[in-house]
Amino acid sequence: MADVLLFPFAEYWWFYVGFIVFVMAMLGLDLGVFHKESHKVGFKEATIWSLVWVSLALLFNAGLYYYTSIKFPEMPGVAKQVGLEFLTGYVIEKSLSVDNIFVFVVVFSFFSVPAKYQHRVLFYGILGALIFRAIFIALGSVLMQYQAVVIIFGVFLLITGAKMMFQSDKEMDPSGNWLIKFLRKHLRVSDRLHEDRFFIRENGALTATPLFIALVFLEFTDVIFAVDSVPAIFAITKEPLIVFSSNIFAILGLRSLYFLLAGVVDKFHLLKYGLATVLIFVGLKMVWLNKVFDGHFPIGWSLGIIFTLIGGSIAASLLFPKKDSAIKHQNKD
């Protein structure tokens, strides 16, 4: 792909406005119609919504492909390149978002958030994530123009992938987190949930509920994850429009993916190795591989490698279950 952007912001500002309006409309439809009343999201509902979000992403990808082929007829192959870049970015973000799901499970358990209120927390969490991701992507589109910054982020992804590869499986304990301690020290926080409310009036004073603390903690962890995922997608494409749209589509489907996988996420104990090697591969692209391949590692190869790493780690997790899971299963029998 040439260094000149195919979709510069000055020319495509209308797309960003329209895309944001579409996202807000979908979120409004989600909360205002389908989840107007707090309820537990079952497996069937989560499956349907997961298929809806994935289908919308693929339809958008097809539309982007055909638009590019019509807009740039003098550039043979550019539409295929754009389509593969969007799909690869979407797969990367979707895969890395599984880490968010692990955090969701731990946080909801720690705060004893009933299943029927979890969707509300995730809705506002995703809304905040969309805002932070947009800021990160805007900054990235400026910073990633400088080769030194690309190298720095590449090294950062290599280090992050290596740390993930060798980190222990010790379960996260939110009780010792500095942010939760800070919030409880500087805010009035009730000692119990008040249905799906984030704030209440207690003795005449505005008081946060544990549901609000859970929401802030989830927002904070998403910012941490964005430091990995946004540079990872910029390693695939230099087009902010593709980075933005693929990232947002992946985030929009995160809630339904959580409700779909929450009960079985512990079975994917080897997935962290797949995610770690993806980050290492993307870091190598930024630091070395792109230079070897005249500035851009083949996008088709990237997609194939990422699918293989993620799919292989999922398959290995199912073929070789954790010993404690196998023991529990035998005890049940």
**Burial label, 107 (beta-carbon count in 10 A; 0-12, 13-18, 19+):** buried
**In the predicted structure, residue 3 carries a pLDDT above the cut 70:** no
Residue 328's pLDDT band (boundaries 50, 70, 90)? Answer: very low
pLDDT at 324: 60
Range of the domain at 236: 9-332
The residues near 77 (Cβ < 8 Å, ≥ 6 apart) are none
Q: Compute the distance between CA of residue 172 and CA of residue 109 in angstroms, rounded to an integer.
A: 11
Determine the residue type at 144.
Answer: M
* Within a domain: 53: yes
38-82 pLDDT per residue, tens = 777 888 888 998 999 999 999 999 999 999 999 999 998 999 999
Cβ contact 278:309 at 8 Å: yes
Mean pLDDT of the chain: 86
Residue 1 lies in a domain: no
pLDDT(332) > 90? no
Does residue 54 sit within a domain? yes
Q: Which residues contact 160 (CB under 8 A, 6 or more apart)?
A: 228, 279, 283
In a domain, 4, yes or no: no
What is the three-class DSSP state of 192? coil
Q: Is residue 85 part of a domain?
A: yes
Overall number of domains in the chain: 1
**Helices H / strands E in the chain, number of each:** 14, 2
Q: What is the mean pLDDT of residues 127-154?
A: 89
pLDDT in tens, 106-119: 888 888 888 888 88
Question: Is residue 314 one of the residues assigned to a domain?
Answer: yes
**Does residue 295 surpass a pLDDT of 50?**
yes
Residue 52 lies in a domain: yes
Query: Residue holding tokens 């929009």?
Result: 252
Q: Is residue 129 part of a domain?
A: yes
């969309």: which residue's tokens? 130
Contact 284, 156 (CB under 8 A): no
DSSP secondary-structure letter at 155? Answer: H
Residue 329 scores a pLDDT above 70:
no
What the block records as the tokens of 99 is: 């880490």
Digit-coded pLDDT (tens) for 214-273: 999 888 888 888 887 888 889 899 899 999 999 999 998 888 888 888 777 778 888 889
**Total length of the chain:** 333
CA gap 34, 46 in Å, rounded: 12
